[in-house]
Amino acid sequence: MDRYALIVAGGAGRRMGSAIPKQFLELAGKPVLMRTAERFYSFDPSIRIIIVLPRDQFTYWNELIILHSFSLSHSLAEGGPSRFESVRNGLALVEDDSLVAIHDGVRPLVSTTTIENCFEAAATYGNAIPSVNPADSVRLMTGAGNMPLNRQFLRLIQTPQVFNSSLIKRAYATEFNPEFTDDAMVLEKTGEEIRLVEGNRENIKITNPEDLIIAETLFSSVS
């Protein structure tokens, strides 16, 4: 089956307290988004890479490509007002009966092992979602107060979330629901069971300045 990487980068950078959207900040000398795309290329040089960006960042992205001599072949899709719409726009470029990895543009530390785990399981089960155990105790807020949850039964969810493209495209034909916080939840609404696989702990989402410093530190140790 053909493999796609659909990399979603919609950030406008406000949370980073920076004028530059976080996907364009530099990690080890290159924009985060390029580092992220390179992970998928390292896993499989024949993977088809689609990058979803807000329309008003296309020109800047093309300037960065020249500046960094970035040569990975990829398509661009236009981001929508929400992540849901951005993913839907990207999926329009994905053929049926293929496997598509939907990945956060600001998770450049995904390991090729995690990517491989996900593609392998998704080929068998139709979907695969990388996850890790929480390192801390976890509590649930209830109306009255709070209670402990057994963390053995909890998983923190990452990306890439890999799907049979026909299944996820059908799921994304549904209407947007504010409950959707990731692609697994969109698929789940169609009645499919979600398949969890092992992610890698370094695979953090860069959302604030400390994350970028941490990512810089971890960058050389992830392969």
Nearer residue to a second copy within complex by CB, 62 or 133: 133
Shortest Å distance, C-beta 109 to a second copy: 11
Shortest Å distance, C-beta 140 to a second copy: 6
Long-range CB pairs of 135-141, under 8 A, 24+ apart, other chains included: none
CB 207 within 8 A of CB 184: no
CA torsion angle 94 106 202 125 (round to 10): -20
Nearer residue to a second copy within complex by CB, 55 or 139: 139
Shortest Å distance, C-beta 193 to a second copy: 5
* Beta bridge pairs of residue 49: 5, 74
**DSSP assignment letter at 99:** E
Shortest Å distance, C-beta 177 to a second copy: 12
Residues that bind a second copy (CB under 8 A): 129, 131, 134-142, 145-146, 148-149, 151, 153-158, 181-182, 184-185, 188, 193-194, 196, 201-202, 204-205, 207, 210, 213-214, 216-218, 221
Shortest Å distance, C-beta 136 to a second copy: 4
Quote the distance between the C-alpha of residue 46 and its chain's center: 19
Nearer residue to a second copy within complex by CB, 51 or 197: 197
Q: Report which secondary-structure segment, H or E, holds 95.
A: none
Nearer residue to a second copy within complex by CB, 45 or 178: 178
Nearer residue to a second copy within complex by CB, 50 or 202: 202
Supply the angle between the helices 32-43 and 112-125 in degrees, to the nearest 10. Answer: 60
